[in-house]
Amino acid sequence: MIEINNNDLRFRLNILGYEFPDSRDDWDSNWLLVFVELRECAEICFSKTDPCLLTMDLISLKDWLQSVSVDNVTQHKLSFMEPEISFEFSNDKVNLVLKYNFNPDGSQNDGSYRLHIDNHYIGPILESLEELLQKFPVRNNL
């Protein structure tokens, strides 16, 4: 599980499982059920589950955050097939961007919610991603 605490705001992201655990299709078998929760002052203000990441996306995120951690960023935005979650790097800061189904204001339009990730969270996030990838590896069914 990935956890970020910024003052009174707490963000959690966890993988609950494969969307299609019995699928034999290479694409379908790698979709993940992603759980997101935002808490403000210990009150849940938003929680949602959506199948918006592939196992390969976790690998891309891990690689991207590793490049951020060693100041070797060549790609300043990381987005995925489904636009609910993306990451941006600018002015030496990482921002998590939540859109559509994961936008806490409930807006299904192009509005977004940004959460700054302090650099000291990068290491623990990388460790969490490694654990998630061990629990939910890429499944090749060919």
Domains of the chain by start residue, with CATH: 2-135 (2.30.31)
The predicted-structure confidence for 92-126, as pLDDT tens digits, reads as follows 889 998 888 888 876 666 667 888 888 889 999 99
Query: If pLDDT is split at 50, 70 and 90, which confidence band does 136 have?
Result: very high
The predicted-structure confidence for 53-90, as pLDDT tens digits, reads as follows 999 999 999 999 999 988 888 899 999 999 999 999 98
What are the helix (H) ranges across 41-116? Answer: 55-69
Cα 116 to chain centroid, rounded: 13
Name the DSSP class of 123: H
Residue matched to tokens 């490049």: 67
- Indicate whether 142 pLDDT > 50: no
Higher pLDDT, 1 or 108: 1
Query: If pLDDT is split at 50, 70 and 90, which confidence band does 39 have?
Result: confident
Q: Distance between CA 29 and CA 45 in Å, rounded?
A: 31
State the pLDDT at residue 107.
65
Residue partners of 46: CB distance under 8 A and separation at least 6: 36, 37, 38, 104
**Does residue 52 contact residue 80 with C-beta atoms inside 8 Å?**
yes
- Indicate whether 18 pLDDT > 70: yes
